[in-house]
Structure 1
Amino acid sequence: MIRSSSSPSRRSAVGLGVGVAAVAAVFYTLLAIGRWRAGNSANYDLGIFAQGADAWSRGQWPESHIRGLSLLGDHFSPLLASWGALWHFWPTPPTLLITQAVLLAAALGVIVAYTRRVAGLRVALLVAVVGLLSRAVLTTAMFDVHEVAYAAIALAVLCIALLQHRFGWAVAASVWLLLTKEDMGLTVFAAGACWWWMHRGDGWRRPLVLAGLGVAGVIVAMLVLGAFAPGSGTGYLAYFGIGSSNKLPVPEDHSLSPQRLLPVLMYVVTALGIGVRSKLTVLAIPTLLWRAASSNIHYWALDFHYDLVLWPIGLLAFVDVCRKGLPRLRSRSGVVVSIATVASLVLGVAELQQRAVTPASTFRTAPVVRDIRALAGERLPKGAKVATQMDVGPYLVPRYDVYSLRPDQRPRVDYVMFTDKERWTYQVPVCARERLVAAGAQVWRRGIVTLVKLPSAQVVTPTC
């Protein structure tokens, strides 16, 4: 990927990239496993993807009882079959957490190695620190797993291919992106426009190939989603006024809220302000547009994984502008970079504090996790069908057939398990928990964890 005029320069760039990637892999793994052992992993999305990996490992299409459908009807992410291969050797959710940490670290390593080669050591070290502690990547590393972890490294390669005029690498990265998620086709289409803008002397063939790949990728993804999804289409289009709802309990807002611009601000911060001048910013436009146009308020927020695809683009856009080195501190550009750097680090540290996760968490198992495992081991027969509250499911996969204890799912199960955590996303109401306990044939409690055996297999709805 990296052109060099001398072997020592290449070796120093690669060496720095590998070193940063190694540090990042350890750091992100400690954060992810710390959150797992603290009992903060969830059905959405670790439990879902764990069930998908389990299915892939058995040579089946990825299906999740927690999600209530085939995962190929939820998102077009055939690249996740690789999780199935890893699951075959180590069938436990931390496998996915560690894999994601390595993917994120590898993306940062590629970015830093390229930066060292074209912009020097000072810029590379700045990018390494800002990239490592960016809120965009920390939210992904600490909030279970997501398919877009695969997109980060592909986007890094795509950006470098565009900057280095490497069409073969651009095509390879684009195909990788198309196999990651359905919306990546829009980014690949933008890569065609970006190639034309950067390399007009090439003519139209290469940009049209990239744009055509993007369009074909979207069409194929929609056809596959339609074949696997109930109702012949992805429900996520409902957030854009197209089709019917996918029944996810996500708050919607159809007003022109200024919060829609938060992803734009996040991109500006990630690009350290001056990076927005780079032509690579074209790659960020499709993601920024569809997030702003959606009625799903989670797409606007900075607390989820949606900013990850902007992360490599923003960092490399900054590098593109700083090829001749960092701007002088007292210059206008220097002031902008300084302010954006501080803002980026503050946002990252705030995310660590909000998630209440530190690397030290990796070495302590929370009582709630021990209680979930103990109750299941003592009372649940292997393969039992159990509906779980959001914070329980991943700790029971793959030994048990786990479903989601939510009103919109209505699973038919033999057991129900939930916790009494004071604060948790999609917590089962107290009155609903009391009803489930009252209706149970047997009830076992351990700490804040409750397991209920139902009189017979039945549909459960956690409503009052």
Structure 2
Amino acid sequence: MVINAFSSGTFPRPKVGSPRREADAGSPDEARGVGWQIWTLAAVLCFMYMLVGLRTQERMLSNSFDLGIFDQAVRSYAHGRLPVSELNGPDSPVLGDHFSPILALLAPFYLVWPTAKTLLVAQAALVALSVVPLARWARRSLGQPAALVIGAAYGLSWGVASAIGFDFHEVAFAAPLLAFSLSALGQGRMRAAALWSLPLLLVKEDLGMAVCVIGLLIARRGARRTGFVTAGIGAGAALLTVLVIIPSFNTTGSYTHWFGIDAVGRGGGLLGLLDHATLGLVTPLDKATTLLFCLAPVLFLAVRSPLALVAVPTFLWRFASNYSPDWGTRYHYSLVVMTVFFAAFIDALIKRRPSAASLRRHLVGVGGVALLLLPNFPMWQLFQPATWRDDIRIGTARAVMRLIPDGATVQASTYLVPQLSNRTTVSLFGWYASRPNPQWILVDTFVPANLRWPQTFPQERAALDAARAGGYTTVADTFGYVLLHRPG
């Protein structure tokens, strides 16, 4: 349909009018029942996401931080306990690190399939679901071809790909909630926008401020009572979780992530704080680069919509952080931003009332940028032959891991942790917070230097020698996998 529309020159003219009238009016596409094409697109994207996540896990390239942490948390919920993660410290409560009780929704699925792969499949489904409300909104106002192009561009965007390619994270729940909320807001359904936004408070503590912004936008569009109540709940919940709930679970009695967003390293004192809150938000260059990369997939048009303001709290905490990975384009940090910006892109495009030719140019641009950036991010793994080849060492690793009994305490290398987290009490070998004196130690000594964490090769070798000197015996030493056991 997309190809035919472009080639025949019959690209549908977008409908214009008030957001509420657009929301209520039926479209010719809806009358023809073509909504299945959007769901098909979402299903295809879901399948691609699952392939990336599951194949990464099967190749033993998933990480202790964070797939292992979330696997341990959901495992706790599945067994009727408050979530703990051995990776953060012995019996460390996860709610003392981040407030993400929405993870409990995955517990029933984990009981059926108790493995980290459950989380990867759930993430694929949640992120793919976020395509549906955005594409349906675009279809109602811009036509079916536009819906499919925008949906595909969002689903293949680098921010989504980076999240899918790096383990599992709680923000997978945020993507569909934001998509449904902002789509409703853009179409004038204020109460629906508010109701879809409120569960974000259970996803992560920083999203309370995103809910606050959504509430203010609702108020700005006329639903003042609904908007101000939503904004108040969002701001209040953010403060409650950061100042009360998380500290009550944290062994230090505080919200430890405050220490990542202070003025340390920028001179200290009032001048250091001022510098950190101004120039420090756009330097070093990585921060500005990330902002440009976030706007490029939507042709910078998102800035013309007030919906883009929902991303501001996320940018503020990321760029105020002293933790450099928060600034960049890797990992999962840009998933929320990508959802917000594509919603803002649709809103801005509708308000421009583009001609068919102008709409066609915008869609070619947004699709072209998505395809241009695709090879530089994890979705491209699907087209790489190496992704589908198994390392000959994987079979050895699985055989060695089978020597570790269920329920044992273990320290393991970061890439081995997610393979053991569903059946053992596993922590990270060489990590300062790991449980001391575990029953078993499993280390992959062949990990390349550029992928090693948290220890260098000399540090790892010294730690293994110290373990042997402390009474551990070597059970296996094959193909680089070293398994030690502590008798008694």
Give the structure-1-normalised TM-score: 0.87
In structure 2, C-alpha distance between the alignment counterparts of 1:132 and 1:295, rounded to whole Å: 30
Identity %: 27
Distance 1:313 1:12, change over 3 A: farther
1:182-221 to 2 correspondence within 5 Å? 182-197=205-220, 199-200=221-222, 202=223, 204-221=224-241
- Residue 409 (1) aligns with residue 433 (2): yes
Distance 1:268 1:26, change over 3 A: same
Distance 1:433 1:179, change over 3 A: same
Q: Does structure 2 retain, via aligned residues, the 8 Å contact 1:38–1:361?
A: no
Q: Letter of the aligned partner of 1:227 in structure 2?
A: S
Q: Does structure 2 retain, via aligned residues, the 8 Å contact 1:101–1:141?
A: yes
> How many angstroms does 1:432 deviate by?
2.8
> How many angstroms does 1:121 deviate by?
2.0
Q: Which residue of 1 aligns with 2:416?
A: 392
- If you compute each CA radius of gyration, which structure gives the higher value, 1 or 2? 2
Q: Which residue of 2 aligns with 1:72?
A: 95
> How many angstroms does 1:85 deviate by?
1.7
Distance 1:367 1:228, change over 3 A: farther
Q: Does structure 2 retain, via aligned residues, the 8 Å contact 1:134–1:348?
A: yes
Match of 1:380 among 396, 404, 412: 404
User: Alpha carbon RMSD of aligned pairs, Å?
Assistant: 2.8
- Residue 322 (1) aligns with residue 349 (2): yes
- Residue 151 (1) aligns with residue 174 (2): yes
Cα offsets for 1:333-366 (capped at 9, x unmatched): 987775554333322221138x845487776544
Q: Which residue of 2 aligns with 1:450?
A: 482
Deviates more, 1:382-391 or 1:98-107: 382-391
In structure 1, C-alpha distance between the alignment counterparts of 2:303 and 2:416, rounded to whole Å: 42
> How many angstroms does 1:139 deviate by?
0.9
Cα offsets for 1:154-183 (capped at 9, x unmatched): 000110121122232122212211111100
Distance 1:179 1:271, change over 3 A: same
- SS of 1:398 mapped into structure 2: coil
Cα offsets for 1:412-459 (capped at 9, x unmatched): 212211212113151532223323443242241232322122466xxx
1:43-442 to 2 correspondence within 5 Å? 43-68=64-89, 69-197=92-220, 199-200=221-222, 202=223, 204-222=224-242, 223-241=244-262, 256-323=283-350, 341-352=367-378, 356=381, 358=383, 365-377=390-402, 379-412=403-436, 413-419=438-444, 420-422=446-448, 423-438=450-465, 439=468, 440-442=472-474
Deviates more, 1:220-229 or 1:21-30: 220-229
> How many angstroms does 1:133 deviate by?
1.3
Q: Does structure 2 retain, via aligned residues, the 8 Å contact 1:115–1:319?
A: yes
Q: Does structure 2 retain, via aligned residues, the 8 Å contact 1:17–1:110?
A: no
- Residue 28 (1) aligns with residue 49 (2): yes
> How many angstroms does 1:17 deviate by?
2.1
Cα offsets for 1:369-413 (capped at 9, x unmatched): 332221021x22221111111111000122221011234214221
Q: Does structure 1 retain, via aligned residues, the 8 Å contact 2:29–2:144?
A: no
In structure 2, C-alpha distance between the alignment counterparts of 1:181 and 1:90, rounded to whole Å: 25
Cα offsets for 1:266-308 (capped at 9, x unmatched): 3312323222211211111111222122211111110010100
In structure 2, C-alpha distance between the alignment counterparts of 1:359 and 1:82, rounded to whole Å: 34
Return 5+ residue gaps in structure 2 as ranges: 1-19, 265-274
Q: Letter of the aligned partner of 1:19 in structure 2?
A: T
Return 5+ residue gaps in structure 1 as ranges: 244-252, 457-464
- SS of 2:433 mapped into structure 1: coil
Q: Letter of the aligned partner of 2:169 in structure 1?
A: H
In structure 2, C-alpha distance between the alignment counterparts of 1:5 and 1:126, rounded to whole Å: 21
